[in-house]
C-alpha cells in the first residue's frame, strides 16, 4: 500500500476541483511506477498550510 501526504498553500484549495485532481494525479503516478494494483491500494492525504507558516530558504513566505 502506498501512502502519500502532500502539503500545499491553503489558497490552492479555493479551486473546488483541486483536491480531486491532485488525488487522481498522485494515484496515477503510483500506478505508472508500481502498477495498477498498487494504485488501487493508495491512500492520499492533502494538507493545507497558510503561507505565514511555510518557510523557504530560511525565511517565512507569508
How would you label 20-44 residue by residue, b for 16+ Cβ within 10 Å and e otherwise? Answer: eebbeebbeebbeeeeeeebeebeb
Residue 57: strand, helix, or coil? coil
Cell reading at 41? 491500494
The domains of the chain are located at 2-60
Cell 498550510 belongs to residue: 49
Residue 44's φ and ψ, nearest 5 degrees, are -125, 130
Architecture in CATH for domain 2-60:
2-Layer Sandwich (3.30)
pTM over 0.85: yes
Q: How do residues 7-58 score in pLDDT, each as one tens digit?
A: 999 999 999 999 999 999 999 999 999 999 999 999 999 999 999 999 999 9
Does residue 30 contact residue 44 with C-beta atoms inside 8 Å?
A: no
Amino acid at each position: 500500500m502506498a501512502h502519500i501526504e502532500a502539503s500545499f498553500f491553503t489558497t490552492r484549495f479555493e479551486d473546488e476541483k483541486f483536491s480531486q485532481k491532485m488525488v487522481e494525479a498522485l494515484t496515477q503516478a503510483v500506478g505508472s511506477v508500481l502498477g495498477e494494483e498498487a494504485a488501487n491500494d493508495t491512500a492520499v492525504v492533502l494538507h493545507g498550510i497558510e503561507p505565514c507558516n511555510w518557510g523557504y530558504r530560511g525565511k517565512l513566505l507569508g
